Copies of this chain bind each other. A is one copy, B any other.
C-alpha cells in the first residue's frame, strides 16, 4: 500500500499541476440556510474537459510514460473519463483510443473527438467494452487505463480534495459521489492525509447502491439496474478502490432519483452553475441526511458539468 502515502499524493499533485486547473471553491448562503451546514463547493465542473477525471487520467499517463516507451493509451468509458483521457493524451503526445457504448450522450462523444481521441463504438455491455479494449491493445500496442480502478488514477482524483483542504483547512466532512470509487477513494485518502479530523462521506443513487451494499457485506457487489440519471455512477467498485473505501469510508448516503433532480435544479437555479446529475448526488445526500451535517464545515466535490442540454430532467 505504499502508493497511498501522503508523499505519493503530494508528488502526484506536483506532477499533474501543469495540466489541470486549480478550480475555485464556491459558497451559497441559500444552500447553507437550506442544509443547516456550512458548504464549500469544489467546482470540478470548471475543470479541463469538464470534470475531475483529467486529474487521474493525467497522472496515470505520466506514470506510464515515465516507465518506458508509451505507444498509445486505451480505455472504455461512457463519459467523462473518455474526454479527460483524450485531452491528457493530447497534452502528453500519445494517441488515445476510446471504447464507448453507442448509446453514450452525443455531447460526450463530441468532447472526445474535439480533444483528439479516437472513438471505437461497441454494444452497451461490460463484456463488449472489455473485449474491444483488449483487441485495440493487441493491434496498436496501446496500454490500458481503467477509468477508476487504478491506483494512479485514484491518487490523481484525490488532488481535488487536497486543494479543497488547502483552501478550507478545517473541513469536518467532505462528500463525494461514488461510482467506480476512484473519486471517493482519492478523496478519502486526501482527507486522511491532509485533513484535521475530516470525515469522508460517499453519496450514491439508491438504484445503483452497490458501494453501500459492498461495504456492508464486506465484498464487491454489482447492481441489478443501471436506471439512474447519474450516468457517471453506474459503474461498480473494483479491486483497488474497494479496499480503500473499506478502510476509510464509514458512511454512504443513498438518494432517490427525485432527490438528485431537485438538488441539481437548486444548484442551476440558485448558484448559476451547470453541474451534472452525478454531482447533484452529493448535495442531495447533504439535504437528505441533514442531521449528520448540521453546523459542520462540509466540502462537496462537484465532480463535473458535462450535460446534454437536449436531455435535461426539468
Which residues of A are at the interface with B, using a C-beta cutoff of 8 A?
A: 24, 45-46, 50, 107, 265, 268-269, 271-275, 305, 307, 309-310, 312, 314
Contacts and interface: CB of A to CB of B under 8 A. Distances in A.
B305 A314 contact: no
Nearest to A43: B272
A309 B312 contact: yes
Give how many copies assemble into the complex.
Answer: 2
Contacts of A24: 24
A272 B107 CA distance: 13
B314 A265 contact: no
A269 B271 CA distance: 16
A99 to B, nearest CB: 24
Contacts of A50: 272
A175 to B, nearest CB: 20
Contacts of A305: 272
A269 B46 CA distance: 11
Residue of A273, A275, A310 contacting most chain B CB atoms (<10 Å): A273
Contacts of A271: 46
Given A24-B24, A274-B274, A269 B309 contact: yes
A41 to B, nearest CB: 12
Contacts of A310: 314
A188 to B, nearest CB: 26
Given A272-B274, A309-B314, 6 more contacts: A45-B272, A46-B271, A265-B309, A272-B273, A272-B275, A309-B312
Given A309-B314, A310-B314, A268 B274 contact: yes
A269 B24 CA distance: 18
A307 B275 CA distance: 15
A272 B49 CA distance: 11
3 interchain residue pairs of minimum CB distance: A272-B305, A272-B274, A45-B272
Residue of A45, A309, A310, A312 contacting most chain B CB atoms (<10 Å): A309
A148 to B, nearest CB: 22
A29 to B, nearest CB: 9
13 contacts: A24-B24, A46-B272, A50-B272, A107-B269, A268-B274, A269-B274, A272-B273, A272-B274, A272-B275, A273-B273, A274-B274, A310-B314, A312-B312
